Structure 1
Amino acid sequence: MTYNEKYHLWINSNFIDEETKKELIDIKKDEKEIEDRFYKDLQFGTGGLRGVIGAGSNRMNIYTVGKSTEGLSRYLINNKGKGASVSIAYDSRNKSKEFAEAAARVLCGNGIKVNLFEDLRPTPMLSFTVRHLKSSAGIVITASHNPKEYNGYKVYGEDGGQITDRVAEEIISEINAVKDFSEIKFMDLEEAKEKGLLSIIGEEVDKAYIDKVKELSIRKALIREKADELKIIYTPIHGSGNKPVRRVLKELGYDKVYTVKEQENPDGNFPTVEYPNPEDAKVFDIALKMAEDIEPDIIFGTDPDCDRIGVVVKNKEGKYKVLTGNQTGALLMEYILSSLKEENKLPKNGVVIKTIVTTEIAREIAKEYNVEIIDVLTGFKYIGEKMKEFEEKGDKKYIFGFEESYGYLTGDFVRDKDAVITSMLISEMTLYYKTKGMTLYDALQELYNKYGFYKEELVSITLKGKEGQEKIENLMEHLRHSMKAHLDQVKIVKKFDYKLGIQKDLVEINEEKIDLPKSNVLKFILEDNSCFVVRPSGTEPKIKIYLSVVGNSSENCKDKMIKFKEQVMSLID
């Protein structure tokens, strides 16, 4: 079917509402816009849907959400039977509540019980709720930290983790079998309540979650005695973190939490920022103005669905600096492991999990505390997958997991990155160092002096369209098969090919299998411990290059990175 045929099908369908039809009729003279909205169906990927909000088959709307939910319903009925249930949460993005209710209506229309949150909640709370209410699956409506035009739909398994690739393929197969809107079974929400298929959830689940988060505090005596001495500036960046983050901190005794008022209320237009992303230093501009008067010990901000967190610290020159995801992760890892060791709570079979593109300083920290470290593919769902494996086998104890893109998790009652838990731990860590006369910036320098100076950088190259896709594929094949043995006289000693599942030692001339799912990613480690990873993005027309160098000082690292980046980019170009 051509995009024009699809366009007219929507306009003439008895199953499309009048408001949606009007939006489509208003673009009837814009051929390019019609093509973009209808040239394909919005794809349900390994994690779910993500796209621009609007009418059309290639947009996020109640019909694309409905079709995906109809497919998910069929999958659940086939695999879990009629007793299946689903928990649903949503964030502050535009149309999030509408999409959450559309998903609930379709599930209930298929006879599946739904637990729907009364109002917006963070993504990690959905992960917790799936486990807490023993649901068969979970859905969260969010596009994480994407621009305001976007929304998305993520699916979770009964373990509270994002669905694995195999399950995603089975759900996609069911979605593709839905050929017509008439097959989507929408039930009115009031009817669903009357039939006992819809439950609205809130405080009872909130309290259970908040109590579990507070239990993760390590130095409880320190918090009881000194929490009120810490000054915090917090911004929810118009997202879902405002209430749970502040509630956890307040209940633990942190009385000096100053919220950025201009960014406090949920708003899917994110009026004060270009992107609601705590990786972007500009989201902290208002917080930094507040800091001139308040002089906080720490500043942090969470993204719209409150699974990522960015941290701002003051350096020796009195300037505020946004930490990278790797720096925050390394600080948390050192703090958690050292504190557990001090309290004699460090498990003998403890494991830290990181992604293959996350800082290698984690390996040195793990060695110091005699803790196993495991690498997984990029994406927190792979960390969740390992947690499930540990739980089933009972042979290892999960301690901490993190990724360079500002996602962290400790505890095992959530199976996705959690900025509510992390905000609590960052506050505790900052307070601990404050009692020692140190800032988090001082703690970071101490970390580097102890384990070596590490610097990481990410380069993203956008290559759109079919031609861009071909360039990405050609580059990956060139690096896979024609890569030279040196980079500016420094020998490449190891090559990890995650697509072929092979790790090659280029010095000893041997190879081992990589026990991870197949993914088109390459990693090269050099003789001086610098390394780089090349990874095509799974969700955007981009190729990402992750660079890492090790030096004997911050300045040395900075110089090495400039040179290393030039060398790696000359290969890419």
Structure 2
Amino acid sequence: MTPLNVTEWIDADPDPVTRAELAALSEHELTERFSAPLTFGTAGLRGPVRGGPNGMNLAVVIRTTAGLAAWLTARCQGGSRVVVGRDARLGSEAFALAAAEVMAAAGFEVTLLPRPLPTPLVAFAVRRLGAAAGIQITASHNPAADNGYKVYLSGGAQLVSPADREIESEIARIGGAADVARASVIPADDSLVEEYIARIATLPHGDARSIRIALTAMHGVGGETATAALRAAGFEDLHVVAEQFDPDPTFPTVEFPNPEEPGAADRLLALARSVDADLAIALDPDADRCAVGVRDGDQWRMLRGDETGVLLADHVLHSAPEDSLVATTIVSSTLLSKLAKARGARFAQTLTGFKWLTRAGDGLVYAYEEAIGHCVDPDVVRDKDGISAAVLVADLAATLAGSNRTLLDVLGDYAVEFGLHRGDQVSRRVEDLSDIAEMMKRLRADPPGQLAGEPVTTEDLSLVRGGMRTDAVIFDGPSIRVVVRPSGTEPKLKCYLEVVVPVANRDDLAKALEQAKARLAELRTFALSL
């Protein structure tokens, strides 16, 4: 809890807009705003842009940054370099400038990125500059009303425990935001952006470049950087969804600015059809995630994150050293573990989130999570990066096109080699977070003994010891798997479903797919009943 009472907080709020907003609220509304501060979750702080300790506003950003500065100083990192970046969401410019100014006044050397830029650029810059920390103001793919505060530590990986709780303790010791010192900061030039693009241009393995690509930036900050990176890598035949290309914090053409949401990629797929593209790419608003669209017969569809994940893993492993490590999370497909073994690579499984994936172990060459996040160059960007993933998937698609093959052809090969792995997800959005806790409680009290006609075992990860302990329940059967967990970034209960169907040869693919769809429908019924 913040040590400041309501009156002290309002009096010390440096933003006259949120100060007036809070002053006009009823006692009941103020109680809700001050019930608990934002805390570091899966991807940092996230919340609605509004006044008070549990919203994203200038006072919260200033106090959070002062707490981070105190934590770094206490660990003999005072005076080190800190990188600050931002997306184009509501409030991002003011929040990023305030964070930079607080760090500068605390004695740190600050690199403030010059304009709204993709989140992976902060992760890149932290490693490139040897910085002690990085701050990115972003809420990624959250609804338009939200913003957030993401922290990278030395080495460019995301903040993890116990550092997050230690920083929160430092924040709690900070007084009013208006009393926190700030010093002016001059933004950096474009040199880091140019270095980042130049690095991405070296990632392709093959020489083929003659494919046509349709791309959407989903009203976010990735469009300019992504097209520059693709062109630097030699992909010149680019077509963009014009009405979604420029940053717009209101996200006017999508209900939720997330390529995974139904309908979000409709304009991209329509463009791909109209220009007869070979590949479609959708970035999320801060461009740290990449979704891929492909032609499937007479139609276009988006690949699931697991499909893209195993394709990129195999592509990376083709040129990786022996005994390299690939990693994914507990909610992703089981296919990567089988592919890794067949390719002579090591495999690791972590909790959900790239803060864990990029710490999966030595020799890491690739990591992905099913939520369309891919880390294809961990030595340089130790986080998910939608732009480098877009370049590498274009490289794979172009290489295959040279042999008159497609990404779907390779997925068919995997089905014959490892069985058809088909996944789905059910998300239960709630208004009251207590509903999620109640659903998890009911599930633990009465777990199913079988699902989709198969006996299942239950593993409750809240009961395990060590680093894999989390609020999740896994049901495993001979050919099915269900993982149920609360979302770490949104008010949702998420159910991750997978079925595996043996495939004798490519002629059996259609039949196997129908079997998989039928079994997934049974698992969906279970997930919707929770």
Counterpart of 1:136 in structure 2: which amino acid?
Answer: A
Q: Any residues of structure 2 matched to 1:353-432 within 5 Å, and which?
A: 353-386=327-360, 389-390=361-362, 397-411=363-377, 412-432=379-399
Q: Which has the larger radius of gyration?
A: 1
Equivalent residue runs for 1:162-177 within 5 Å: 162-177=158-173
**How much has 1:501 moved relative to structure 2?**
2.2
| Distance in 1 between residues matched to 2:172 and 2:40, nearest whole Å | 10
Equivalence for 2:299: 319
* Change in 2 beyond 3 A, CA 1:463/1:253: closer
- Quickly say closer, same or farther: Cα 1:539–1:472, change in 2 above 3 A: farther
Which of 109, 126, 132 is the matching residue for 2:128? 132
Give matches, 1:162-241, under 5 Å: 162-187=158-183, 189=184, 198=185, 200-219=187-206, 222-223=207-208, 227=209, 229-241=210-222
Shift of 1:322: 1.1
CA contact (8 A) 1:468 1:541 kept: no
The counterpart of 1:491, out of the listed 441, 451, 455, is 455
What's the TM-score, normalizing by structure 2?
0.92
Offset at residue 9 of structure 1 (A): 4.2
Q: Distance in 2 between matches of 1:410 and 1:443?
A: 19
Alignment CA distance shift 1:204-1:150 (3 Å):
same
Shift, 1:331, TM fit:
1.8
Distance 1:383 1:160 in 2: 13
Shift in CA distance, 499/559, structure 1 to aligned 2, threshold 3 Å: same
CA contact (8 A) 1:361 1:451 kept: yes
Q: Tell me how large the CA RMSD over aligned residues is.
A: 2.4
CA distance in 1, matches of 2:268, 2:83: 34
Secondary structure of the residue aligned to 2:162 is helix
Q: 2:315 corresponds to which letter in structure 1?
A: Y
1:60 positional shift: 0.7
Distance 1:81 1:161, change over 3 A: closer
Tell me the CA shift for residue 35 of structure 1: 4.3
Change (3 A) 1:565 1:15: closer
Tell me, yes or no, if the aligned pair for 1:80 and 1:136 is still in contact at 8 Å: no
**Residue number in structure 1 paired with 2:505:** none
- Give CA-to-partner distance per residue, 1:23-61, whole Å, 9 cap, x none: 345x44x56654443333233446421111122222111
Amino acid at match of 1:139: I
Q: In the alignment, does 2:476 pair up with 1:516?
A: no
CA contact (8 A) 1:91 1:122 kept: yes
Q: Match of 1:127, SS?
A: helix
Larger mean CA deviation between 551-560 and 465-474 belongs to 465-474
CA contact (8 A) 2:8 2:176 kept: no
34-43 or 415-424: bigger deviation: 34-43
Q: Structure 1: state its 5+ residue gaps.
A: 190-197, 341-345, 391-396, 503-514
TM-score, with structure 1 as normaliser: 0.85
- Whether contact under 8 Å (1:281, 1:322) holds in the other structure is no
Cα deviations across residues 140-168 of structure 1 (Å, max 9, x unaligned)?
Answer: 01001001100000000101000111111
Matches within 5 A, 1:532-543: 532-543=482-493
Q: How many residues are aligned here? A: 520
Taking the aligned partners of 1:18 and 1:241, their CA distance within structure 2 comes to 32
Q: Sort the Cα spacing of 1:48 and 1:210 in 2 relative to 1 into closer, same or farther, 3 A.
A: same
* Residue 294 of structure 1: how far off its partner (Å): 1.0
Work out which of the residue numbers 479, 491, 495 in structure 2 matches 1:545. 495
1:353-394 deviation digits (Å, cap 9, x = unpaired):
0001101111221122121111000111101122xx52xxxx
> Counterpart amino acid of 1:521?
A
Q: For residues 83 and 21 of structure 1, do their structure 2 counterparts lie closer, same or farther at Cα, with a shift above 3 Å needed?
A: closer
The one-letter code sitting in structure 2 at the alignment partner of 1:49 is L
Letter in 1 for 2:375: L
Aligned residue identity for 1:401 = A
- What one-letter code is carried by the residue in structure 1 that aligns with 2:472? V
Name the counterpart of 2:325: 351
1:323-363, Cα deviation, whole Å (9 max, x unpaired): 111111122223333x32xxxxx422211100011011112
Q: CA deviation at 1:276?
A: 1.2
1:356 is aligned with what amino acid? I
For residues 240-272 of structure 1, give each alpha carbon's deviation from its aligned partner in whole angstroms, at most 9, with x where no partner exists.
211221111111221110111111111111122
Letter in 1 for 2:44: G
Aligned partner (choices 146, 150, 153) of residue 146 of structure 2 = 150
Give the counterpart of 1:562 among 509, 521, 525.
521
Aligned residue in 1 for 2:58: 62
Instruction: For residue 441 of structure 1, report the CA deviation from its aligned partner.
Output: 2.7
Whether the aligned pair in 2 keeps the contact of 1:92 and 1:238 (CA below 8 Å) is no
How far is the alpha carbon of 1:288 from its aligned partner?
3.1
**Percent pairwise identity:** 32
Structure 1's 2 and 237: CA in aligned 2 closer, same or farther, altered over 3 A? Answer: closer
Shift of 1:536: 2.2
Report the secondary structure of 1:282's partner residue: coil
Gaps of 5+ in 2: 503-511
Aligned to 1:475: 442
- One-letter amino acid matched to 1:351: L
Q: CA deviation at 1:455?
A: 1.2
Give the AA of the match of 1:209.
Y
For 2:2 and 2:199, how far apart are their aligned partners in 1?
52
Change (3 A) 1:267 1:2: closer
The letter of the residue matching 1:305 is D
Q: Which AA in structure 1 matches 2:49? A: I
| Deviates further, 447-456 or 319-328 | 447-456
**Residues 204/518 of structure 1: CA separation in 2 closer, same or farther (3 Å cut):** same
Pick closer, same or farther for the CA change 1:315–1:212 going to 2, 3 Å: same
Moved more, 320-329 or 539-548: 539-548
> Contact (CA 8 Å) 1:457, 1:548: kept in 2 or not?
yes
The yes-or-no answer on 1:310 pairing with 2:310 is no
Retained in 2: the 8 A contact 1:325–1:406? Answer: yes
Aligned mates of 2:406, 2:39 — CA distance in 1: 46
Instruction: Give the Å deviation of 1:309.
Output: 1.1
- Partner SS, residue 518 of structure 1: coil
Q: Secondary structure at the match of 2:358?
A: helix
The amino acid across from 2:488 in the alignment is G
- Residues 1:560 and 1:17: Cα distance change in structure 2 (over 3 Å): closer
Distance (Å, rounded) in 2 between the aligned partners of 1:359 and 1:352: 13
Aligned 8 A contact 1:44 1:68 in 2 = no
Structure 1 contact 46–163 (Cα < 8 Å) conserved: no
Give 1:488 shift: 6.1
* Corresponding letter in the other structure for 2:524: K
- Judged with a 3 Å threshold, the aligned counterparts in structure 2 of structure 1 residues 74 and 449 are, in CA distance, closer, same or farther, namely same
Q: 1:330 aligns with which of 283, 305, 310?
A: 310
SS of alignment partner, residue 169 of structure 1: helix
Q: Which moved more, 1:208-217 or 1:461-470?
A: 461-470
**Hey, what does 1:501 align to over in structure 2?**
464
